[in-house]
Structures are given as structure tokens and as C-alpha cells.
Amino acid sequence: MKKRFLGIVAVIAAFTMIIAGCGNSSTSSDKANGNAGSKEVSGSITAVGSTALQPLVEAASKQYTAENPKAQINVQGGGSGTGLTQVQQGAVDIGNSDVFAEEKDGVDASKLVDHRVAVVGMAPVVNKDVGVKNISKQQLIDIFTGKITNWKDVGGKDEKITIINRAEGSGTRATFEKWGLDGATPIKAQEQDSSGTVRKIVSETPGAISYLAFSYIDDSIQGLSLDNVEPKEENVATNDWKIWAYEHMYTNGEAKGLTKTFLSYITSKDVQNDLVPQLGYQSIHSMKVERDSKGNVTEVK
Amino acid sequence: MEAREKALTQTSKKARLEKRGKIITFICISIMVIAAASILFFVISKGLATFFVNNVSFVDFITGTDWNPSKTDAAGNPLVGALPMILGSFGVTLLAACIAAPLAIGAAIFMVEISPKFGKKILQPVMELLVGIPSVVYGFIGLSVVVPFIREHISGSGFGIAAATAVLTVMILPTVTSLTVDAIQSVPRHYREASLALGATRWQTIWKVILRSARPGILTAVVFGMARAFGEALAVQMVIGNSVVIPTSLFEPASTLTSILTMGMGNTVMGTLDNNVLWSLAMVLLAMSLFFIIMIRFIGRRRKVK
């Protein structure tokens, strides 16, 4: 009996040690804040939010922690809304988002500092059998608002149009509605939340149309040109292709310590020229224009 | 003398052990009670915020058919009608239960009454295996097999209540079957013997004696399956189409409470109407599962009285 009791005590002791270990790591992050200038980087930070940005942050943090073994970066998904909420409350160090904080209701953007780490272009995609490669912007709006319901009206096959929307409130949908549909509200249609599922459905459903980030467009589906502008990174860089968005990493106030060094690492030339295109994003340095939260476009000097 | 007195008045080792055990089990149970209570409190307080903080009328929420939380109608009221989702959830749940229940009862009769050896050795492990498959796998199979099949052989885009029903039926079938097997197995042996001794055929015994006396257990099994179907999110989300409209046929995209809830949660900001109204959906779900649990208890109690 006594042995069993000792066992319970041992388990409790082990737990306390683990908890104490967690506590230690957070204090060391405070230490890192204190001497940000020194070369040895240690501590632990958490980045939460956008699932679209998650793969990049994960890959970058893996590379970073391989070089700086004492640093620990936790990356979690949860969506842009979660990211912005959590960083605003100070629960996490970095909040990842597909949209400007100013565009999200209920977020006090004045406290948050924006760090743009990548650009993502998006394009309308259709099932290959519809026989359309290029449509005008007006036709695109008419399709999504339900005025055009057959592909033959835009020069394709006699096939009913099936619209597949993204989830209400998703960053991709917000970007597409703002820049692709000029703010028009699409009709009620199917909704899917994951890009992979959307690609699968569009490739298998005759007459289907949806929209995806460039990195998800492959041979199984057809990306549409709008007014004869092809959905390509060169066109995004010059803003000829208007449906694109920044990937943001927000901090609550100015970034400090490990957060700061990690953010400068992720925007460094090494990561931007190597990891960013590898994972299907577009480098922030490739942009010839800049766009603010209100949509004003200025040239980068 | 003193030593004997001490031994008699002092708490013995065994009594101390018993006390310690009591304390440990009490701590365990109180953690569970606190967890359940705090979940209830959290979901209800968040869910009610829609009605008390954002001043949405509960009747509009339950009966409205327009779902677009980020927009408002002409009068300035937010569009948060949850009726299409509530109907969708009930639709897929009831249909799946209607299909799964006869299949499950048939399978259970076969496993217990017709071929107990084969049932125990082969079917039981198969059932247990099916229960263990993650729901995302069921969803993906539904997306790759069921949806194209409906599109090519029946009508529409393939997404809809029909596809969701098919996936859910397969998902709840093992649960309902194994619970039904337990119910039938617990019918006392002498019922069977008495029935056969009276000259009843095997079929008469099964239909009139066994199924009748196992009825409360079978009902519990079906309700249990319905509770699982009602709360299932991922697999349904993949095949139902998630369109917040009241469908006019089984082959049109529809949505359920869970599918809209899981798709929207990450994209909304805590404390806003968009987020609160999702908690209200969660509250409806919670109320429904409570209803299912109460129903199971009610059926179970009736069995005891008999």
C-alpha cells in the first residue's frame, strides 16, 4: 500500500516539475526581452491564427530553431479571427491574419503593429470541362451574384454553373469579394472551408467555380484570367492582377526580444527568396506596389 | 492496558486507507462536476450574449431563415436566422436513424439469435473496428465515393442531405448495433425457453418475445446513435455542401448546426455579434444533447419499473 502511495506522490512530483519547467521557459523569454541585442537567442513565443499562413510560419520557425536551439516557437492555427483576438488580449505574442486588422470588426487595430511577411494571389478557378479560360470582371460578378447561371453565356459549354464559396468570414473570401467582386455579395451557395477540399470539389464537379490561392492551382483545375490578365505573380507584383492579399503577423505593441528577431528573420532575404516561394507564397520583396488597409495603392520606391 | 486502549481508539490503517480512497474519488468526481458545470455556464453565458448584449430576438434567431451575421437587414437587425441549420441537423439525424435502426436491429438479431458463434468471432470485432475509424475518414470517403455517385446516378451536385445521411448512417450503425446486441443479449434465457416450449417458432420468439422485451434497450441504442449523428461535425461538413438555405430536395446543398459552427469559429473575433451568434448555435446543440440524454434516462427508467 505504501508503495502505491509513494507512486502517486512521484507522479504528482513529476507533474509539478513539468509545470515548473514551463514556468522557467517563460521567465527566460523575459530575459530575452531584456538583452535583445545579444547574439544568443532564447525563450519561447507563440504564434496563433490564419491557417493560410500557418505552413510558412511553421517552416520558418523550424529553420530558425534549428539555428537557435534555445529558442522555442509554438505555431498554431485557429483562423485569422482567433489570431487577432488572442494577440489583442495579449494571450499570444504573434497573431497571424489574412486580412488587415482594420477590416475585422471588433478588433482595435490602433494597438496592433502590422508585420507583412508574404503576399498571396488568388484567382477564380473552374472545372476543366466548362471550356472557359478568360472572362471579364463583370461576368465574374454576374456569375457570383446569380445573374449568369450557365457557362454558355460566357462562351463555354452548355453547363449549369455550380458556385462553391468559402466560409463566411474567411480571409480568402473577404479578399475575393473585395477585389474580385468589387464588394458585391455572392448568392447563397455551397460553402467549404479548406482549400484542399475546394480544389477536390471543383476538379470533380462539372460546371463548378470557386476561388483559390495561386499555390493551390494545379493541373486538375483551370485558373481563370480576368479581362485578359493572367493570374500570375508578375501581375500581382504590379497590381495588374488585383485579387491578392498580404499575410500579416500582428504584435501587440512594438515587437520585442525573440518576437522581434523572429519577425526580422522571416522577412529577411534568405527566407523570402527561398522558403516563401517554395511554399507557394509570394515574396514581400517582389512587390512593386504597396496597398494599405483602405485599398490605396502606392508604388514602392 | 494502555496499548490496548490506544489500538482501540486510534483509527486503524484500514480505516485511514478507506478515508484516503474516499478523498481521492471525491476529488475526481468534483473535477468532473466542475468541468461539466463550467462548460454549461460558459456556453450558455456566451450563447445568451447574442440576445442580451446584441439584442437579437430569440424568436428571430430560431425561426429566421436568413443567415449572414456580418450584414443587417433593412431595419438594422442582424441576419442571424438559424432555422435552416436546425432543420438540416434534424433532417440528417432523423433520416440516418430511420435507415440505421432497422439495419442495426437486423444485424443484432443475426449476431445474437441466428449465428452467435460467427457473430462473436467475426462481426463483433468488425463493429468495434468501425467505431474506431476517425470521422474525417468517413467524410473523405463520402466526398470521394458517395457524392460523385449521387451526382452521376441521381441528381444535383451530389452534395446535400442525402449524402450526409448516407455517411452518418454508416457512422452510427456500429454504435447502434453493438448497443442493440447488448440489449438483446440481456433478455433472460428462460423467456426464450418458455416461448419455444409453448410451441412458438424461432421467428415468433424473436418478433414477439425477444424484440418486445428488449425494446427499451433498443430505443436507447437508437437515441444514442441519434445523439452521435446530431453532434457529428467534420464528416457532415465535407459532404453536405454547407449552404445556409432550406433545401427543397434531399439532393440540394444544406447545412447543419455543427458544420456552420466549425467553419465560422476561427474566422470571427471574440465578443462580436458574429462570434456570439455561433455560441448561440452551440447552445442549441447543447440543449439538444441534453434532451437526448434525458430521453435515454427516461427510457432506461421505464425499463427498471417493468
C-alpha cell recorded at residue A232: 500570375
Q: How far is A191 from chain B (nearest CA, A)?
A: 5
CB atoms within 10 A of CB B52: 10
Could you tell me if A217 and A258 lie in one domain?
no
Of A185, A209, A238, which closes a domain? Answer: A238
Q: B243 to chain A: which residues are within 8 Å by CB?
A: 188-191
pLDDT computed for residue A247 by the predictor: 92
Residue where one domain finishes, among candidates A222, A238, A254:
A238
B175 CA to chain A: closest CA distance, Å?
28
Residues 141-200 in A contacting B (C-alpha not used; CB under 8 Å): 162, 167-171, 185, 188-193, 197, 200
Domain CATH number, residue B108? 1.10.3720.10
Which residue type sits at A254? E
User: Which residues pair with residue A252 across a beta bridge?
Assistant: A112
pLDDT score of B164: 94
Q: Do A82 and B264 touch (CB under 8 A)?
A: no
Mean pLDDT, all residues of chain A: 84
- Does B186 share its domain with B53? no
Q: Does A79 touch chain B (CB under 8 A)?
A: yes
The answer to whether position B102 is within a domain reads yes
Rounded CA-CA distance B165/B160 in Å is 9
**Beta-bridge partners for A150:** A160
What is residue B76's predicted lDDT score, i.e. its pLDDT? 75
Query: Nearest residue on chain B to A77, judged by CA atoms?
Result: B266
Q: What is the mean pLDDT of residues A152-180?
A: 89
- Taking CA–CA distances from B143, the nearest residue in chain A reads A201
Interface test with A, best of B267, B273, B274, B275 (most A CBs within 10 A): B267
Give chain B positions within 8 Å (CB) of A167.
Answer: 242, 263-264, 267
A131 and B CB contact within 8 Å: no
Give the helix/strand (H/E) hosting A65: helix A54-67
Interface test with B, best of A190, A202, A220 (most B CBs within 10 A): A190
For residue A82, give how far its alpha carbon lies from the nearest alpha carbon of chain B (Å): 5
A233 has a chain B CB within 8 A of its CB: no
Q: Say yes or no to pLDDT of A107 above 90.
A: no
A190 and A148 fall within a common domain: yes
Grid cell for residue A155 = 462562351
What's the first-to-final CA gap in chain B, in angstroms?
Answer: 58
Q: Tens of pLDDT along B208-219? A: 999 999 988 999
A12 confidence band (pLDDT: 50, 70, 90): low
Q: Which three cell numbers stand for residue A103?
A: 477590416
Helix B124-132 vs helix B161-185: angle between axes, to the nearest 10 degrees?
Answer: 140
The Cα A168–Cα B265 span in angstroms is 10
Interface contact A190-B253, CB threshold 8 A: yes
A66 touches chain B (CB under 8 A): no
Q: What is the torsional sign of CA A13, A16, A22, A27? A: negative
Strands of A43-149 (E only): list them.
43-49, 71-78, 94-97, 112-126, 134-135
Cite the beta strand spans of A86-221 per DSSP E.
94-97, 112-126, 134-135, 162-166, 190-192, 208-213
Residue whose grid cell is 516557437: A73
The pLDDT value given to residue A224? 93
pLDDT of residue A37 exceeding 60: no
Cβ <8 Å between A191 and B242: yes
Three-state DSSP class for A98?
coil
The whole-angstrom distance between A207's CA and the closest CA on chain B is: 9
Strand partners, A247: A118
Q: Are residues A107 and A173 in the same domain?
A: no
How do beta strands B67-72 and A222-223 pair? unpaired
Do A204 and A138 share a structural domain?
yes
Given pLDDT bands bounded at 50, 70 and 90, which one contains residue A301? low
**Closest Cα partner for A148 from A138, A231, A174?**
A138
Question: Of the candidates B143, B238, B271, which has its C-beta nearest A106's C-beta?
Answer: B271
Pairing of strands A208-213, A112-126: antiparallel
Q: A105–B274: do the CB atoms touch at under 8 Å?
A: yes
Q: Which domain holds residue B220?
A: 84-269+281-302
Nearest Cβ partner for B143 among A1, A85, A200? A200
Cell matching residue A256: 520585442
* Distance of residue A79 Cα from the nearest chain B Cα, in angstroms: 4
Say whether pLDDT at A78 is over 90: no
Total number of domains in chain B: 2
* Cell numbers linked to B47: 450563447
User: Under an 8 A CB cutoff, do B243 and A169 touch?
Assistant: no
> The C-alpha cell of A187 is what?
448568392
For residue A190, what is the nearest residue in chain B, using CA coordinates?
A: B243
- Give how many domains chain A has, as a whole number: 2
Residues 6+ apart with CB under 8 A from A217: A123, A125, A223, A231
DSSP-derived 3-state class of residue B115: coil
Is residue B274, in this structure, part of any structural domain at all? no
Q: Is the pLDDT of residue A49 over 60?
A: yes
Cα A250 from Cα A86, distance rounded (Å) = 10
Q: Which of A35-49, A57-71, A262-276, B158-172 has the lowest mean pLDDT?
A: A35-49
Q: What ipTM, to 2 d.p.?
A: 0.75
Phi first, then psi: give them for residue A114, nearest 5 degrees: -90, 130
Cβ neighbours of A192 in B, within 8 Å:
242
Is A162 within 8 Å of B157 when comparing Cβ atoms?
A: yes
Please check whether residues B233 and B121 belong to one and the same domain.
yes
Rounded to the nearest angstrom, the minimum Cα separation between B54 and chain A is 13
- Regarding whether B93 and B75 lie in a shared domain, the answer is no
B107: its cell numbers: 444485424
Size of interface A-B (CB pairs under 8 A): 90
Does residue A21 have a pLDDT over 50? Answer: no
Kindly state whether residue B286 falls inside one of the protein's structural domains.
Answer: yes
Using CB atoms within 10 Å of the CB of residue B303, give its burial: 0 to 12 exposed, 13 to 18 middle, 19+ buried.
middle
Return phi, psi of residue A231, to 5°.
-70, 85
Do B275 and A81 contact (CB within 8 A), yes or no? yes
- B96 and B68, same domain (yes or no): no
Instruction: Mark which of B24, B51, B79 sits at the end of a domain.
Output: B79
CATH of the domain at A283: 3.40.190.10
Maximum separation of any 2 CA atoms in chain A, in Å: 83
Question: Does residue A239 surpass a pLDDT of 60?
Answer: yes
Domain boundary among A190, A209, A238: A238
Closest Cα of chain B to A168: distance in Å? Answer: 7
User: Does residue B254 lie within any of the structural domains?
Assistant: yes
Looking at the domain assignment, is residue B5 inside a domain? no
Supply the pTM of this predicted model.
0.79
pLDDT band at A16 (very low <50, low <70, confident <90, very high): low
Residue A29 has what pLDDT? Answer: 41
A103 & A248 share domain? yes
DSSP letter (8 states) at residue B156: T
CA distance A221 to A58: 27
Taking only residues 85 to 104 of chain A, the set having a beta carbon closer than 8 angstroms to any beta carbon of chain B reads 85, 89, 104
Q: With respect to residue A38, please indicate whether it lies within any of the assigned structural domains.
A: no
In whole angstroms, give the CA distance from residue B167 to residue B179: 20
Cα torsion for A134, A139, A145, A150, to the nearest 10°? -70
What range defines the domain where residue A172 resides?
121-238
| CB-nearest partner of A80 from B151, B245, B267 | B267
